[in-house]
Chain A
């Protein structure tokens, strides 16, 4: 079955760039997503990338996809304290299969 892996913790200084990494196993992935969860809240879709793309940029966010290595990353430029949250990588595949989420990376931003 599908499996999505992420490192659990990342700590960065305010103003630095953050890079959160994710690997997945299912080669039939169609879309890959990044969700953000702030304390006590639900998951908010940050960005997504279609599997035939290798890069997507949206303001401070850059998503890189290496389909050969099944590796996805999220770069947050000029990280702010408001970016402190848990970031989940997720993949969808063809057919009636719900999103599979990674375990989430807790990003801590130090002022």
Chain B
């Protein structure tokens, strides 16, 4: 009955590798997001995806690419991983960008690049 699920929960990998994080929501939401939380716990939006429209935060390197096979999934693919990519990545979903219901977050994927 998990609402927003991310896999894996932990990911340790070497610099230069390519990795993917999967996200699925069973809430029937139309919009999905990826947020990055750094070591100081600051949260920054990376991507949002609504009805096949992708909005990218201009500060996100193009090594990061979201892929949405359907409305319930928004996966994050990262090429050529760097040390600075180490962070916790959160997937979230909502009915739309602005509503009183807010966003439902997954439990996060802790990525460690060594």
A-side interface size class: 20 to 34
B105 to chain A, nearest CB (A): 4
Interface size on B, residues (CB 8 A): 26
B67 to chain A, nearest CB (A): 18
Are the C-beta atoms of B42 and A104 separated by less than 8 Å? yes
- CB contact list, B1-48 vs A, under 8 A: 4, 33, 35, 40-43, 45, 48
Are the C-beta atoms of B98 and A92 separated by less than 8 Å? yes
B89 to chain A, nearest CB (A): 11
Question: Is the C-beta of B66 less than 8 angstroms from some C-beta in chain A?
Answer: no
Q: How far is the CA of A100 from the CA of B100 in the complex (A)?
A: 15
**B-contacting residues of A (Cβ < 8 Å)?**
30-31, 33, 35, 37, 41-45, 48, 50, 86, 88, 90, 92-101, 103-104, 106
Beyond known contacts A48-B102, A50-B100: 16 more, CB 8 A cutoff: A30-B98, A31-B98, A31-B102, A37-B41, A41-B107, A42-B90, A48-B100, A90-B102, A95-B97, A96-B55, A97-B97, A98-B45, A98-B48, A98-B97, A103-B42, A104-B42
